[in-house]
Structure 1
């Protein structure tokens, strides 16, 4: 049922909770637990939206191209043939040539 707990185990746990916390505090605790879960979910949703927004901005900066397409376009701008090159090596070369061009 819940994480491998059967109905009997759940009933035993509920009885233990009633004994430890009393019948009046259990609804308050359940309410607080529900609110905490809601706040956690809201924070999780906000962080997910922020990551999606950041990715959208990166996509817009790339002009709708994939990262490899954007890298190939940058390589072409600095005069490098990107065919059959390792992406990390190509990135290093393109970055170095862009820095040289910026210094001039």
Structure 2
């Protein structure tokens, strides 16, 4: 397991090409979570409320998810990939902006 700083409410966004991590136009949202992270649960509740399809990796239960998390230099939860954006932490406003850019919400 990686050493995790904590879960964050204020995101840090990095723009890049994340296609090698499974991001496609059909699956533009991937999240890395744990069971014990309350911010992760808020993120999943938000996505479910908005009917956002996403791929979830619980890094404590999924070895592939842990490997991807490490490749992304994950150090906090949730770690969110939305298209070409890597977001560390969850801010509903920032996530909504990215989802609107992809026309996933109106």
Alignment TM-score, normalising by the size of structure 2: 0.23
- Choose between structure 1 and 2: higher helix proportion: 1
- Choose between structure 1 and 2: higher strand proportion: 2
**Higher Cα Rg, which structure:** 1
Alignment TM-score, normalising by the size of structure 1: 0.24
